[in-house]
Structure 1
Amino acid sequence: MRSTLGILGCTLLFTSCAVIRPGEAGVKQRLGEFDNEITTQGTITFNPFTTRVVKASIQTNNLELFLRLPSKEGLSVDSEISILYRLETAKVAEILQNIGPNYPEIVTSVFRSASADVCSQFFAKDMHSGKRAEIEQAIMEKMDETLKIQGIIIEAVLMKSIQLPRGLSTSIEQKLQAEQDAMRMEFILQQARLEADRKIIEAEGERDAQKILSEGLTKEIIQIRSIEAFRELSKSPNSKIIVTDGKTPMLITPDPK
């Protein structure tokens, strides 16, 4: 009899304890009503006959969706979306009381509505261009209007994959290719203009140098240069024949024998 009571007591002890692990929040639900006290880590004891412990994750959760988004021109764009969200710890009991454990379905429903409102204001090509971040931010803000007050925090909306309609995708690729070709041609023309400018500057510099040189060669300077040339020739030990009119020397070096 005593052993039976002991076994029963141990059973009651283990069934009246709940362990809350890191990243979780535990709330007691007594006769259908949730307590305001929230445990984020540790052990909770409770009366198994009248109370149970409901756990919820307060870590960042990743909700992945595959759906079609409408565009401004009326096209449907296939997309893969990741929604990063978490529960506000202080409102876990309120979330479980008002929404229940199926809050991911609420996040999904709110996202579908918000994404339809936002994406219908953008063209399909915008979802595949630099405006993607703007669209993601607008959807997240739209979802916050509904979910934040209920204790669900949207951390990010990520449009991971966008599949445009085939005809539009081809048109965008052709446009991008044409833009690349135009940029490459502009670069080639710019290089050609720079090379032409370089040659013009070089020619002008050479012309100016010749002009300065010709303007500086007066008769007096030529005579002085001639005298200097005679002086240098006189210092040389080699035999030379110099023919001159007294102004400009012309050197004739005899062939060595």
Structure 2
Amino acid sequence: MERLSRAAIFAIVGVILFIIVIIKSSVVVEAGQAGVLFRPFSDGIDTENTYGEGFHIIAPWNDMIIYPVRQLSISDKMRVLSVNGLEVSVDGTVWYQPEYDKLPFLHKEKGRNYESEILAPAISAAARSVVGRYTPEQLYSSKRDVIQAEILDEVRKELKTQYVQVNRVLVEDVTLPTKIKEAIERKLRQEQESLEYEFRLAKATKEAERQKIDAEGKAVANKILSASLTDKILTEKGIEATLRLAESPNSKVVVVGSGDSGLPIILGNQ
């Protein structure tokens, strides 16, 4: 009976150990993640393989380090200097993700804190380099898309050999000192008013030119018409007009002599 009890105890212990080994040996990599295998009794990090999503069995003494490999983002507010030495504040967001096939090297050389170790400093350096090329006016108005593209290029250069892929840089806001911002807005308003005045002036000038051309055209036409009208033509036109008036059913015509031009004089017209 005692032997049976000992056997039962050993069996139970064995089952428990087996369960522990199974639990320790099984690893589930969730969606959007990847694993790096660490072998403490062998060659350390397995740099040949990146372990994808799913269920994996590993030796109990090994360790699987899990990393998110889907697109991530990091936002920061940086104080940087413009080309003329004025301090501006830039709010930006960078979208990035680890290079999947290079994940073991990222863990081996940079570690879990690679965002703060290499990504954030690269973003800061790129922002300072790019913003330092522009004046506050350019930063405030028309250069944001260009700045975003240039910061992206700079960050990619910095991280080219760091096993991190940068997908996009978004500059959300550029904050200038209050006095500088007010001066820029005042200048922009003045420029807009100047452009509006120039537009109205150009429009008025074109209208004056149009009226001048129209008047000159009418004057030429009248001159040609006056030169073409003779006394005979005028008399003929007068006779035609008199006949049309006389034929009107609403008229009563009484001809008394003739006028100075030889045309009849019509009286009693109703």
Smaller-chain TM-score range? 0.7 to 0.9
Percent identity, please. 27
The 1:218/1:159 distance shift into structure 2, 3 A limit, reads same
> In the aligned structure 2, how far is the partner of 1:160 from the partner of 1:236?
82
> Deviation per CA, 1:182-241, whole angstroms, max 9, x where unpaired?
011112212222322232233223323322321221123223324434554665674422
Q: Which moved more, 1:36-45 or 1:245-254?
A: 245-254
> In the aligned structure 2, how far is the partner of 1:90 from the partner of 1:54?
15
The 1:229/1:132 distance shift into structure 2, 3 A limit, reads closer
1:90 and 2:90 aligned:
no
> In the aligned structure 2, how far is the partner of 1:227 from the partner of 1:90?
105
The 1:176/1:241 distance shift into structure 2, 3 A limit, reads same
CA contact (8 A) 2:36 2:66 kept: yes
Quote the residue 1:249 is aligned against.
263
Quote the residue 1:12 is aligned against.
21
> In the aligned structure 2, how far is the partner of 1:12 from the partner of 1:215?
120
Q: Residue type matched to 1:23 in 2?
A: G
CA contact (8 A) 2:38 2:63 kept: yes
CA contact (8 A) 2:235 2:263 kept: no
> In the aligned structure 1, how far is the partner of 2:214 from the partner of 2:162?
75
CA contact (8 A) 2:97 2:164 kept: yes
Give the structure-1-normalised TM-score. 0.88
Alignment partner for residue 165 of structure 2, among 129, 153, 156?
Answer: 153
Task: Give the ranges of 4+ consecutive aligned residues of structure 1 lying more than 6 Å apart after TM superposition.
Answer: none
Query: Secondary structure at the residue paired with 1:109?
Result: helix
> In the aligned structure 1, how far is the partner of 2:22 from the partner of 2:136?
60
> In the aligned structure 2, how far is the partner of 1:235 from the partner of 1:81?
89
The 1:242/1:148 distance shift into structure 2, 3 A limit, reads farther
Q: Residue type matched to 1:200 in 2?
A: K
> Deviation per CA, 1:60-113, whole angstroms, max 9, x where unpaired?
211111120112211211121211111111100100000001110110112222
Unaligned runs of at least 5 residues, structure 2: 1-7
The 1:233/1:131 distance shift into structure 2, 3 A limit, reads closer
The 1:30/1:224 distance shift into structure 2, 3 A limit, reads same
